[in-house]
Every structure is written in structure tokens, then in C-alpha cells.
């Protein structure tokens, strides 16, 4: 098997310590260098300060590394030939011994194989706007329906169709939990206005939910919607204006497929004079803290 678990992560798993998985696409495709590396290392630091062990996941020369070291994270931040890897891409990147940055879907797969329950990201992919016509739907959603990983995020990326995404998750039987919120978080904004079925007030409640699902052997992921702190948000009405401009630009340039998300995020950052990038960073830090707390509580129940 083309998987290498770092000594630190393996030791934590064997000792039933809290471990939190992290993706690598956010490093290679989500932010400019050197900010991407700085954020990645700060996320790991936050997780460590909460008493958990971070496990950033990426593929190097066809080997999936569970727990990239600082030098490897630095390399992911600078290399230009790193492929963006989802479920369908994993066999190619592994067999052809390529470098690959894991998306939400691929990180979930590899985290489950390593025995890591909790995974922290920024926002998940979903149904793209006009997805009911184009069928452009992120593989993240199908992965959540079948892979046993708990994903902590600030909801669905705001560039997507949040309502259709939530409908899709419901159809696929994915449990979506709102942390101290009745509604789905909207990435840059705290509240999408879309109601969720389950609100959780404490990490203990979330940990008990996860354990119950696993004990009953109900396969599939769990999505934790953790709103960006109010002081760091960009209100829906403000950010949506910039999203519409970026979407129009993408249409004019015929940007599609896996290139669309990084294109939109980069252009929105320019349009907002980096305000959206700052919000993105703050929500990731917020998710890292919650994810570590959940993982730590879950380790007590195991």
C-alpha cells in the first residue's frame, strides 16, 4: 500500500491520542506563497495547542504521506507541478509516482485508511451554481455519503449553490451538524439562512454523535458546520456582489472543472482587496481549534 504514516502520527494513533487530518490542496492551490505555508504551519500549531496531533496529508512521488513535515509542507507551498487530487485521481497519481495535493474527498479517503476520524478544512465543495443544468457537482459530496470521516468546515464554499448542496447532502443521508448555530454556515459569512436539522452546543455532544454513528456501523461521513467568527465575516450581501463578478469572468474565460474553484477564490481575493483571503484564513484557524477539541473529546470516549 502506498501510504506512509509519520512516526509522530503513528505513535499518537497507537496511543489513542487525538489526531486531526488536514488537506494539502489549500497549500498548493488555495493561497499564494509564502502565505500558504505560514497558514498551514499555524493551523498545525493551533491543533497542537489544543492537545491534538496534526496530520497534514499529501502525496509525494506516488506515496501518500499522513503527516507531512515542515520541509514537505514548504515544498507543497512552492512547487508548480503538483496535481489536485480527488477520488478519481488517486490511482493515477499513486501509480505514476506523481506529487499530489489532496482535496476534501481524497483527504477523507486517506484519513479513513490511516484510522483518523476528524478532518479539518476551510469549506467543502458542492453543487455549482447552475448545477441543475451542468451537473457540475463536487466529488466531496458523494465522498461524505460513503467515507467514515468527520469533516469540520465553515460550511460550503460561498461560490457554490448552497441550497442545492444542502439538498444533495440530505438526499445522500449525510448528517450535517450546526455548531452553536441553527443554520448552515456560508464560508465567508456566518449564516446562509438555510436551516439545519441538528444543532450542537458542545464538543461533547458532537463526540457522542460520532461515536454513536460508528458503534451502529452507519457508514458515511459527518459534516460539522462551524461559522466563521462574527468579527471576521464578510456579510452575504457584500460578498455575493464580488462572487457574481468573478463568476461572469470565469464564464467569459471558459474556466471549468477543477480549475473553477481556485480561479474564483483568487479573483474574489483581488476584488475584495484581500479581505476574502483574510476571512478564509480566520475561518480555517477557527475550524482547526474546534476540530482538535472534537478529536480530543472523541479520544476520551474510545
Q: Which residues form the catalytic set?
A: 23, 157
CA-based R_g, the chain, Å: 18
For residues 30 and 25, what is the distance between their CA atoms, to the nearest angstrom? 6
Q: How far apart are CA 284 and CA 183, in angstroms?
A: 19
Which cell numbers in the block locate residue 232?
471576521
> Cis omega (within 30 of 0) on the bond before 34?
yes
In this structure, are residues 189 and 236 in contact, taking their beta carbons and an 8 Å threshold?
A: yes
108 in Cβ contact with 149 (< 8 Å): yes
Helix (H, G, I), strand (E, B) or coil at 5: strand
Contact 192, 162 (CB under 8 A): yes
Q: Which residues in 34-188 belong to E strands, given as ranges?
A: 53-60, 63-66, 83-85, 100-102, 118-120, 150-153, 175-179
Burial class (CB in 10 A: 0-12, 13-18, 19+), 172: middle
Amino acid at each position: 500500500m502506498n501510504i506512509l504514516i509519520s512516526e509522530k502520527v503513528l505513535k499518537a494513533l497507537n496511543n489513542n491520542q487525538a489526531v486531526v487530518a488536514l488537506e494539502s490542496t489549500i497549500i498548493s492551490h488555495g493561497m499564494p506563497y509564502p502565505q500558504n505555508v505560514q497558514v498551514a504551519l499555524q493551523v498545525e500549531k493551533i491543533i497542537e495547542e489544543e492537545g491534538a496531533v496534526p496530520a497534514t496529508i499529501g502525496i509525494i512521488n506516488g506515496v501518500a504521506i499522513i503527516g507531512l513535515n515542515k520541509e514537505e509542507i514548504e515544498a507543497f507551498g512552492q512547487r508548480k507541478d503538483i496535481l489536485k487530487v480527488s477520488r478519481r485521481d488517486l490511482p493515477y497519481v499513486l501509480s505514476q509516482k506523481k506529487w499530489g495535493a489532496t482535496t476534501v474527498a481524497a483527504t477523507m479517503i486517506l484519513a479513513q485508511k490511516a484510522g483518523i476520524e476528524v478532518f479539518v478544512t476551510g469549506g467543502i465543495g458542492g453543487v455549482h451554481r447552475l448545477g441543475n443544468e451542468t451537473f457540475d457537482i463536487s466529488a466531496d459530496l458523494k465522498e461524505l455519503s460513503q467515507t467514515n470521516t468527520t469533516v469540520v468546515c465553515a460550511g460550503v464554499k460561498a461560490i457554490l449553490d448552497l441550497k442545492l448542496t444542502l439538498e444533495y447532502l440530505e438526499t445522500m443521508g449525510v448528517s450535517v451538524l450546526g455548531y452553536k448555530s441553527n443554520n448552515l454556515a456560508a464560508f465567508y459569512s456566518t449564516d446562509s439562512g438555510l436551516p439545519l436539522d441538528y444543532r450542537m452546543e458542545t464538543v461533547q455532544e458532537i463526540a457522542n454523535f460520532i461515536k454513536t454513528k460508528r458503534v451502529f456501523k452507519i457508514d458515511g461521513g459527518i459534516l460539522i458546520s462551524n461559522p466563521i467568527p462574527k468579527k471576521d465575516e464578510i456579510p452575504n450581501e457584500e460578498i455575493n456582489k464580488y462572487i457574481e463578478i468573478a463568476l461572469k469572468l470565469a464564464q467569459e474565460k471558459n474556466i471549468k472543472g477543477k480549475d473553477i474553484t481556485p480561479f474564483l477564490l483568487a479573483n474574489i481575493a483581488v476584488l475584495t482587496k484581500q479581505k476574502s483571503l483574510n476571512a478564509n484564513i480566520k475561518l480555517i484557524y477557527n475550524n482547526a481549534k474546534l476540530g482538535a477539541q472534537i478529536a480530543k473529546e472523541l479520544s476520551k470516549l474510545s
